Structure 1
């Protein structure tokens, strides 16, 4: 195996392991040694893959959003469904991932957002870029729904997309606080109302 491929594979294992652990514990509570031990990577090699813990945190978020957006694109591109149906499938999937053992690595924006935004400008910007890309996709699907007649909104598609994403993030935090899916059920109903479904 070429050295470059092995390096990329090891880097990916470290990022995937960190994402899984941090989804449960947060960023600050997880040490680099814990991640490396879980990943089976020698302790001394961390700085071969990442310049600092902040660079590591930024890489985790970028990797998370790359995977998340790929999955989101798959859901929203499903042929044979109206834009409204695809968008509601996305929200349903969101609800389901929030209900799995504290989301098992599926919700780093929820888990780490408030924690790391003040710790590192690089991580804040990675979060901003990733969440903006999510809102872009929601906006695009709303626009498609306006065109295919499967939904309607009061106001601009971008504003509604941002409001929906903000509501779902907030509901996800409240679901964690209350250990209940009720906030997500409420926001599902509000979403249907905002999209006139």
Structure 2
């Protein structure tokens, strides 16, 4: 990797780690630069504003997440229903992890950036659309391979389940326990019955 790209990547990875812990508004530019060990000029060389930087952090997260999501939902040794449920088992595990970096930035930042930046909101919204599409494809595969019973509209079902998990994750954050995530898993299993 060339040095310029290394510096940009360092700023983004440091920022993502800090944002996972403190939220977007909780990360000041001076904290970010100190933690990354880069001068202020380097930041503005890559990002014309904090919002542009925030957009880059989200773009980076969404790209990485979609790559991981695609590979986790395409494991040939598992049937589609098992892969679908495994995705949410991982979600549950990550959301209760003591490491904030394991948790989903979509969950962490959705409410925070909604009013701050239309551009950041759009990036998150597009990320959610991509995630739901992956999930819908997996549901369709499950219906086709016979591991999931008939579903009226797999896309609508994927969206409903994803939204339920977003809400369950927010409740888990507020309550500091995972009862809502366990409830979401039970509901998910009921919503995608075996054939």
TM-score > 0.5 by shorter chain: yes
**C-alpha distance in 2, partners of 1:67/1:151?**
28
**C-alpha distance in 2, partners of 1:81/1:107?**
24
**1:6-21 mapped onto 2 (5 Å cutoff):** 6-21=3-18
- Alignment match of 2:145 (pick from 145, 148, 155): 148
Query: Does residue 27 of the first structure (1) align with residue 24 of the second (2)?
Result: yes
Alignment partner, residue 130 of structure 1 = 127
Residue 96 of structure 1 deviates from its aligned partner by 0.6
**1:75-86 mapped onto 2 (5 Å cutoff):** 75-86=72-83
Alignment partner, residue 120 of structure 1 = 117
Alignment partner, residue 111 of structure 1 = 108
1:129-169 residue CA offsets vs partner (Å, 9 max, x unmatched): 11110001000000000100111254201100100110011
Alignment partner, residue 61 of structure 1 = 58
**2:172 is paired with a residue of what secondary structure?**
helix
- Alignment match of 2:165 (pick from 159, 163, 168): 168
Deviates more, 1:23-32 or 1:134-143: 23-32
Residue 40 of structure 1 deviates from its aligned partner by 1.1
Number of residue equivalences: 194
Alignment partner, residue 154 of structure 2 = 157
**C-alpha distance in 1, partners of 2:136/2:144?**
12
**C-alpha distance in 1, partners of 2:98/2:162?**
22
Q: After the TM superposition, which segments of 4 or more aligned residues of structure 1 sit over 3 Å from their partners?
A: none
**1:180 is paired with a residue of what secondary structure?**
coil
TM-score (norm 1): 0.94
**C-alpha distance in 2, partners of 1:105/1:39?**
20
Alignment partner, residue 93 of structure 2 = 96
**2:89 is paired with a residue of what secondary structure?**
helix
**C-alpha distance in 1, partners of 2:150/2:4?**
48
**2:70 is paired with a residue of what secondary structure?**
helix
Residue 180 of structure 1 deviates from its aligned partner by 0.3
Alignment partner, residue 193 of structure 1 = 190
**C-alpha distance in 2, partners of 1:129/1:10?**
27
